[in-house]
């Protein structure tokens, strides 16, 4: 019963966030001149759209590199298998809501990386710490170049506290269990859970290696830079030359609004956050809406297409030749 109640509460929270974002977007759209918006859509410069799609596509490559270096025993997972894992995870994360995509990434890494579920979960854990640091860096950039909305400022403060507590905890655990003596898998459920936790903490190898974790943070920052460049390319597709601070504010707003996915591909929430950020910096409603829709499309296209195409090719190859899994 408590589990069912928690599930209902979680569903209601996600639904409330989605409905709230949708209502805010609908109310904001009352001022949109739809004839002007259609004119903007007709005048889009497609070469810049292609650049934006390509820049967002590089995120999957950088993400794959990051996960590969964070795997215990650096480089122990082949590039092709890791790219399959990350591209499939990106596709699923942008197709279904909540944590299904992240869970699938851990499961796929355990299978295709052949490293076990505890080690796969440790990779995701370390990636999230690096991602949190990158998000804070983006917001610090915003504070230097653009006004920071009070809600976003409070979110950053909260994230910084959570990240600091979790980061220190994970580092302590990684050193506490750095030496792992071979032991048989316990039969009892509690013993199995503790065994899994010890394996997970031992696999937080990257946190014990400054060079590895520093590279992971650098790659997380590179992904944010690619996403920022994609936003700037979308702006150029409409012939807009907005300050970099505006793009940074949009990036920060979208990143924080979509920390927990409440709709497939964050549809509605993404647009609402981006639209609000553009309007806050004085961009017209028509341009703000067009930019938000186009920006999300340029992000979703590579995230969905790469996983479908590459993952589909790999899966088809394995069905024809089961020995192809390597």
Whether the per-residue pLDDT at 326 is higher than 70: the answer is no
pLDDT tens digits for 3-31?
A: 454 444 444 444 555 555 555 556 556 66
96 located within any domain: yes
2 located within any domain: no
Length of the chain as a residue count: 326
Query: What is the Cα 320 distance to its own chain's centre?
Result: 33
14 located within any domain: no
The whole-angstrom separation of Cα 193 and Cα 186 is: 9
28 located within any domain: no
> Judging by beta carbons within 10 Å of its beta carbon (0-12, 13-18, 19+), is residue 174 exposed, middle or buried?
buried
Q: 282 or 314, which is more confident?
A: 282
The whole-angstrom separation of Cα 302 and Cα 220 is: 18
Percent of the chain with pLDDT over 70: 80
Q: Which pLDDT score is estimated for 318?
A: 62
Smallest CA-to-CA distance from 77 within 60, 65, 87, 61 is with 65
Q: Which pLDDT score is estimated for 188?
A: 75
Contact of 38 with 286, CB cutoff 8 Å: no
Which of 191-195, 217-221, 224-228, 302-306 is predicted least confidently? 191-195
- pTM reported for the whole predicted model: 0.84
23 located within any domain: no
Q: Which pLDDT score is estimated for 182?
A: 65
Token pair in block for residue 198:
């010890």
Which of 71-85, 125-139, 143-157, 197-211 is predicted least confidently? 143-157
Smallest CA-to-CA distance from 96 within 315, 300, 303, 262 is with 262
The whole-angstrom separation of Cα 95 and Cα 97 is: 7
245 located within any domain: yes
Domain of residue 261: give its range.
34-316
Q: Read off the pLDDT of each residue in 83-106 and give the average, rounded to a whole number.
A: 87
N-to-C CA span, the chain? 43
Confidence of residue 317 (pLDDT cuts 50, 70, 90): low
What does the longest C-alpha to C-alpha distance in the chain come to?
70
Whether the per-residue pLDDT at 248 is higher than 80: the answer is yes
9 located within any domain: no
pLDDT tens digits for 265-276?
A: 788 889 889 998
Q: 13 or 116, which is more confident?
A: 116
12 located within any domain: no
Most confident of 65-69, 134-138, 286-290: 65-69
Token pair in block for residue 83:
């790219």
In the chain, the number of structural domains is: 1
Q: Which residues contact 6 (CB under 8 A, 6 or more apart)?
A: none
Q: Which pLDDT score is estimated for 3?
A: 46
Q: Read off the pLDDT of each residue in 219-232 and give the average, rounded to a whole number.
A: 97
Contact of 301 with 54, CB cutoff 8 Å: no
Which of 17-21, 57-61, 160-164 is predicted least confidently? 17-21
The alpha-carbon radius of gyration of the chain (Å, integer) is: 21
Query: What is the Cα 209 distance to its own chain's centre?
Result: 24
DSSP state of 115: S
């Amino acid at each position: 019963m408590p589990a069912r109640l928690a599930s209902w509460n979680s569903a209601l929270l996600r639904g409330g966030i989605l409905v709230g974002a949708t209502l805010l977007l609908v109310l904001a759209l009352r001022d949109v001149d739809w004839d002007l918006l259609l004119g903007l859509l007709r005048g889009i410069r497609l070469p810049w759209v292609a650049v934006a799609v390509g820049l967002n596509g590089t995120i999957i490559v950088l993400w794959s590199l990051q996960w590969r270096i964070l795997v215990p025993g650096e480089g122990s997972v082949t590039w092709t298998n890791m790219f399959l894992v990350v591209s499939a995870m990106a596709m699923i994360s942008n197709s279904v809501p909540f944590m299904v995509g992240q869970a699938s990434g851990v499961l796929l890494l355990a299978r295709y990386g052949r490293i076990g579920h505890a080690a796969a979960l440790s990779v995701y854990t370390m990636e999230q710490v690096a991602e949190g640091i990158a998000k804070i860096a983006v917001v610090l950039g915003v504070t230097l170049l653009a006004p920071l909305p009070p809600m976003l400022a409070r979110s950053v403060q909260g994230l910084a506290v959570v990240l600091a507590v979790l980061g220190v905890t994970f580092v302590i655990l990684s050193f506490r269990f750095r030496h792992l003596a071979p032991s048989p898998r316990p039969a009892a459920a509690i013993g199995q859970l503790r065994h899994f936790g010890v394996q997970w903490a031992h696999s937080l190898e990257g946190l014990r290696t400054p060079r590895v974790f520093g590279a992971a943070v650098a790659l997380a920052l590179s992904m944010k830079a690619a996403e920022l460049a994609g936003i700037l390319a979308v702006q150029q597709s409409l012939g807009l030359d907005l300050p970099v601070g505006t793009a940074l504010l949009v990036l920060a707003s979208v990143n924080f609004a979509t920390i927990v996915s409440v709709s497939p591909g964050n549809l509605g929430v993404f647009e609402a956050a981006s639209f609000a950020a553009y309007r806050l910096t004085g961009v017209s409603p028509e341009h703000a809406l067009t930019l938000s829709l186009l920006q999300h499309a340029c992000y979703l296209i590579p995230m969905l297409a790469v996983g479908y195409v590459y993952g589909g090719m790999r899966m088809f190859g394995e069905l024809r030749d089961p020995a192809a899994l390597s």
